[in-house]
């Protein structure tokens, strides 16, 4: 009884978790100043239809969100309309925040939303970065206990527009209107940066594609398009390569997953543009300004329209088909082997049973029974053939 109850409880754990995690796998999280929505794009098997998972109260304004794609945990940064203090709390279910709310050691003027201010996060180390309109960068802990003003090296002369931390490279990437810098020694607050001078202007956001093993960063400028930042082995930027043009919207936020691009635009930054690089970009409108974009990664499969190959021209589709056929063949062979094993077991068990029964019958009784059968057989032959036979000793004699 206890084992059955334990099994039922374990079976209900995934259902409970899914009911309290409104962020589905393979979705885009769009945060505006008033609402947070999730939508599954067509490339992830969805319909581009958005679903609201959180609505701000009348006295609350959402300024940003921090997302952990591994656990699908979303943290909401918001401010009260009566002050400029920012608070942070975790979304625990649809329309519900955790009762634990932290006050962050930064101030935010709501009039500066989408006016060259940006947030980014290093969720694994529980810290985030805030870049204000003047280009100052503040690093703070998500618990609100730490605040550090990042010392900007003299090689960066223009106001900073956005930063992003890459844990794999352990580097802080910084963009200004016209430069991309990759910096080390963040933890010592003694940045040492290497710089690339792109052939563009008005850079706004920088991000990374977590699915690629190559060293690339991606930036978006305000009017032209998306650029791939090529890095050398140490993580220093060496060149920018244009990879996608965009509409004539003023653009700010950018998110990328496997060559699928999500960015915000419009004069009030209220439009989400989805671009796969092949079809005409799709535009989805929201009723408030978008403050950040996140991607809840799909399950591990390619969303690229072109078929990928793994080796010697064999596609992943062929590889998966071969695995399925091998599994079916293996199952059939396993069934036959089971029947064969059962037959062998039955044969040897039957033989053993007969041998054990023979051992239980006395040998003299078997011999007498056998002699009786012989006599009966020859008696029948004599009657039918009119032969005479005599049994002398252990031998049978037949006389015509």
Pairing status of strand 127-131 against strand 118-122: antiparallel
- Report the pLDDT value the prediction gives residue 364, as an integer from 0 to 100: 57
Assign 244 a pLDDT band (cuts: 50, 70, 90): confident
- The mean pLDDT value for 86-106 works out to 95
Mean pLDDT across the chain, nearest whole number?
81
- Report the pLDDT value the prediction gives residue 16, as an integer from 0 to 100: 44
Check whether 121 has a pLDDT greater than 90: yes
- In DSSP terms, which residues pair with 203 in a beta bridge? 221
Residue with token string 């209220």 = 270
Q: Among 34-38, 134-138, 236-240, 360-364, name the one with the lowest average pLDDT.
A: 360-364
- Report the pLDDT value the prediction gives residue 122, as an integer from 0 to 100: 94
Looking at per-residue confidence, does 312 or 260 come out higher? 260
Asked whether the beta carbons of 21 and 38 are under 8 A apart, the reply is: no
Looking at per-residue confidence, does 6 or 344 come out higher? 344
Which has the closest alpha carbon to 163: 124, 191, 144? Answer: 191
User: pTM score, two decimals?
Assistant: 0.70
- Report the pLDDT value the prediction gives residue 7, as an integer from 0 to 100: 41
pLDDT tens digits along 147-160: 999 999 999 989 99
Looking at per-residue confidence, does 365 or 121 come out higher? 121
Q: Among 67-76, 84-93, 182-191, 247-256, name the one with the lowest average pLDDT.
A: 247-256
pLDDT tens digits along 267-298: 888 999 998 878 888 999 999 999 999 999 88
Phi-psi bin for 95: left (phi > 0), alpha (psi -120 to 50), beta? left
pLDDT tens digits along 5-56: 444 444 444 444 444 688 988 999 999 999 999 999 998 888 999 999 999 9
- The mean pLDDT value for 49-73 works out to 94
Looking at per-residue confidence, does 21 or 392 come out higher? 21
If 0-12 CB within 10 Å is exposed, 13-18 middle and 19+ buried, where does residue 118 land? buried
- Report the pLDDT value the prediction gives residue 272, as an integer from 0 to 100: 94
Looking at per-residue confidence, does 243 or 97 come out higher? 97
Please state the three-class secondary structure of 300-327 as a single string.
CCCCCCCCCEEECCEEHHHHHHHHHHHH
Asked whether the beta carbons of 389 and 400 are under 8 A apart, the reply is: no
pLDDT tens digits along 355-372: 766 666 665 555 666 666
- The mean pLDDT value for 73-94 works out to 92
Q: Among 2-6, 96-100, 106-110, 198-202, name the one with the lowest average pLDDT.
A: 2-6
- Report the pLDDT value the prediction gives residue 367, as an integer from 0 to 100: 61
- The tokens describing 317, both together, are 């589709």
Contact residues for 17 (Cβ-Cβ < 8 A; gap 6+): none
Looking at per-residue confidence, does 186 or 302 come out higher? 186
Assign 381 a pLDDT band (cuts: 50, 70, 90): low
Strand order, beta sheet including 137-141: 118-122, 127-131, 137-141, 147-149
- The mean pLDDT value for 262-270 works out to 88
- The mean pLDDT value for 190-201 works out to 83
- Report the pLDDT value the prediction gives residue 241, as an integer from 0 to 100: 87
- The tokens describing 131, both together, are 């870049």
């Amino acid at each position: 009884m206890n084992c059955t109850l334990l099994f039922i409880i374990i079976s209900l754990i995934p259902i409970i978790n899914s009911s309290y995690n409104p962020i589905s796998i393979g979705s885009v999280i769009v945060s505006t100043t008033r609402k947070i929505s999730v939508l599954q794009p067509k490339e992830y098997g969805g319909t581009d239809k958005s679903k609201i998972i959180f609505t701000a109260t009348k006295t609350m304004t959402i300024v940003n969100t921090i997302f952990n794609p591994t656990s699908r945990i979303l943290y909401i940064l918001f401010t009260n309309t009566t002050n400029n203090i920012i608070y942070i709390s975790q979304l625990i279910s649809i329309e519900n925040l955790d009762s634990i709310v932290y006050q962050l050691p930064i101030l935010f003027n709501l009039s500066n939303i989408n006016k060259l201010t940006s947030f980014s996060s290093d969720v694994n180390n529980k810290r985030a970065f805030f870049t204000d309109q003047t280009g100052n960068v503040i690093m703070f802990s998500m618990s609100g206990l730490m605040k550090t003003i990042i010392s900007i090296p003299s090689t960066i002369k223009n106001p900073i527009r956005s930063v992003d931390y890459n844990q794999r490279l352990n580097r802080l990437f910084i963009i200004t209107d016209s430069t991309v810098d990759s910096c080390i020694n963040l933890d010592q607050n003694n940045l040492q940066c290497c710089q690339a001078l792109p052939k563009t202007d008005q850079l706004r956001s920088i991000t990374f594609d977590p699915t690629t093993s190559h060293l690339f960063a991606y930036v978006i400028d305000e009017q032209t398009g998306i650029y791939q930042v090529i890095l050398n082995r140490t993580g220093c930027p060496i060149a920018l390569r244009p990879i996608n043009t965009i509409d004539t919207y003023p653009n700010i936020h950018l998110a990328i997953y496997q060559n699928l691009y999500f960015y915000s635009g419009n004069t009030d930054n209220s439009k989400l543009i989805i671009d796969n690089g092949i079809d005409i970009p799709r535009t989805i409108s929201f009723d408030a300004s978008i403050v950040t974009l996140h991607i809840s990664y799909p399950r591990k499969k390619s969303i690229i329209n072109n078929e990928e190959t793994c080796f010697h021209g064999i596609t992943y589709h062929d590889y998966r088909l071969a695995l399925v056929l091998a599994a079916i063949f293996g199952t059939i062979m396993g069934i036959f082997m089971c029947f064969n094993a059962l037959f062998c077991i039955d044969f040897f068990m039957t033989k053993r049973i007969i041998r054990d029964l023979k051992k239980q019958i006395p040998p003299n009784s078997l011999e007498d029974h056998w002699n009786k059968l012989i006599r009966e057989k020859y008696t029948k032959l004599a009657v039918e053939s009119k032969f005479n036979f005599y049994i002398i000793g252990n031998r049978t004699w037949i006389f015509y």
